[in-house]
Amino acid sequence: MCAENADIQCEQLEVCVAGYYRVNYDEENWRRISAQLDSYGYQRIHVLNRAQLLDDAFNLARAGHLDYQIALNVTRYLSREKDLLAWSAALRGLSFLDTVLAGSEAHEYFKVVMSY
């Protein structure tokens, strides 16, 4: 279970685990995680795990192991996020994208999407 009383079921979500590794889920579980985060029950997932999910998603996408669309879907809930730890993880990933896309047509689209 992703979190206590969560509306979604995931095969496994490492809860408050420290380690030097990335966790990549299959596409369906990423979709479920994104849906839980995008609900008003996002705090059912501990802030350490929210930050870890954001960090893993962006770094896996950067390494070519996860589609950026999936990584960006994980960020949809951020308008409700109040914890600096999760925001810090998201901003690292978004900052990298901003730098990589600078000067391209995609950068203009990225800026529009990020303004929402």
Summarised one tens digit per residue, pLDDT across range 67-97 is: 999 999 999 999 999 999 999 999 999 999 9
**Tokens found for residue 61:** 């996408």
Measured CA to CA, the distance from residue 104 to residue 60 in angstroms comes to: 22
- Spatial CA neighbour of 61 closest among 74, 51, 79: 74
- Sorted by where each starts, the structural domains of the chain and their CATH numbers stand as 27-114 (1.10.3480.20)
Measured CA to CA, the distance from residue 27 to residue 79 in angstroms comes to: 23
pLDDT category at 16 given cuts 50, 70, 90 is: low
Note the pLDDT tens digit of each residue in 35-62.
999 999 999 999 999 999 999 999 999 9
